[in-house]
């Protein structure tokens, strides 16, 4: 099983500024989190062309629950979490998932 933290970002005041800050500052902070085995993120688009609920979503994966718990308690995760307020002007929702692979590849 894989363990994942998902971060759903709502529309920021300035999309270009969000993207620049995320790439240049937030990603390097997040990559320092111990036990991180995967990190993806992307901008959202709705299937019907309407404005999606979220502007962007990030997923941070961990191979074991112990690594997830270690990461959540780490100073590196606290630093990345505190940094969210520096660019996520629309707010963010964060949650943990226990992922079950249904089909790979």
Minimal CA–CA distance to 21: which of 83, 82, 67?
Answer: 83
Q: For residue 65, what is the enclosing H or E element?
A: helix 65-72
Average pLDDT score over residue span 68-96: 97
pLDDT score recorded for residue 84:
97
Q: What percent of the chain has pLDDT above 70?
A: 100
Contact between residue 92 and residue 9 where contact means Cβ atoms under 8 Å apart: yes
Assess whether pLDDT exceeds 90 at residue 105.
no
Residue 18 CA to residue 22 CA, distance in Å, equals 6
Kindly indicate whether the domain formed by 2-99 is annotated with CATH number 3.40.228.10: no
pLDDT bin (cut points 50, 70, 90) of residue 35 is very high
Assess whether pLDDT exceeds 90 at residue 104.
no
């Amino acid at each position: 099983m894989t363990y994942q933290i998902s971060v759903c970002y709502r529309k920021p005041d300035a999309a270009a500024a969000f993207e620049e800050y995320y790439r240049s500052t937030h990603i390097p902070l997040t990559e320092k989190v111990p036990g991180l085995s995967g990190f993806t993120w992307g901008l959202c688009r709705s299937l019907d062309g309407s404005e999606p609920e979220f502007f962007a979503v990030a997923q941070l994966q961990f191979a074991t629950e112990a690594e997830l718990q270690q990461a959540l308690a780490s100073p590196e995760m606290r630093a990345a979490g505190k940094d969210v307020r520096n660019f996520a002007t629309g707010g963010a929702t964060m949650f943990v998932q226990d992922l079950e692979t249904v089909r790979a590849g």
